[in-house]
Structure 1
Amino acid sequence: MNEKRLWNLSELEAFGLNRATIRKRLKAVGIEPVATGRSNTPLYDVIQVAPHLCQRPIKETDAPDLMGFKTAAELRAYIQAEREKRGLGEDCKDLITREDYENEIATCIAAIKKFASTAITRVESAIPNATGEQLESLEALYNFDLKAVSHEISV
């Protein structure tokens, strides 16, 4: 192993940590010295230890995930504000209930189905001299457009 890769604790302080913190982090991940230098100074492979000295320590806690908020109080305040905002939106009729939304979509779908079932019949009535081939082409176009509308509604 290249000796320039072997650093003692004093040299590892270049990572911005004190010796005690370095020892603690290396011990936590199970890294042992790979050699000893003068005066039995422990030497560590800098390539092996650098990732553990550069990253912020991960706190192990039983605390719930706070979704990026610093404290539980901030998270609670955010949730409460969102509830109040939703309530105000509903009170001002800016928001609709899920039931109303589903009823509106059902009405739209019913209107589209009715259109699909009557469109060709209306064209036949309005243009009595249309050929069967023309009506089939028109029906294919209607079906294509109806599938596109159906896809947009379902997405």
Structure 2
Amino acid sequence: MKIQLWSIGKENDPYIRDGIAVFQKRLQYYTDFELRLIPTVKQAASLPLPELKKQEGKMILDLLGPQDFLVALDERGKTFTTLQLADFLQQRINAATRQVVILIGGAYGIDTQVLQRAQLQLSLSSLTFPHQLVRLIMTEQLYRAYTVLQNEKYHHQ
């Protein structure tokens, strides 16, 4: 199964890029993982917020394949423990899912049409995090979940 972490926004700051690289390298032993940065909409600052979200949503929907399992990170989504995330990944593996796309939306959230397309809406926390930091957190959590599935010692239960 391939996992893609999609994020709308700019390149990572060096400390984020370095952290992601550590867990991306570790993840390669368990799964095919890719971080995909999607550039912001042109002239985003001049667009009304609903129009910006709509245009971002259209970009996302155009990039998704029909068989992609979409997980949208959204503050109103379901919360998982690390063990539940590991169970979710195992379910996707068992279901022979070819690709899971985990989406970090733009600065103002994810368009309704994309949320409706998502098979799962997931919340990392009730707190608000910078999008770049969410990329690092999600990459680490994926690595942690895979170590749980392999009964390795990284995650302490």
For the aligned pair, the TM-score class normalised by the smaller chain equals under 0.3
TM-score normalised over the length of structure 1: 0.19
TM-score normalised over the length of structure 2: 0.19
Structure with a larger share of its residues in helix:
1
Structure with a larger share of its residues in strand:
2
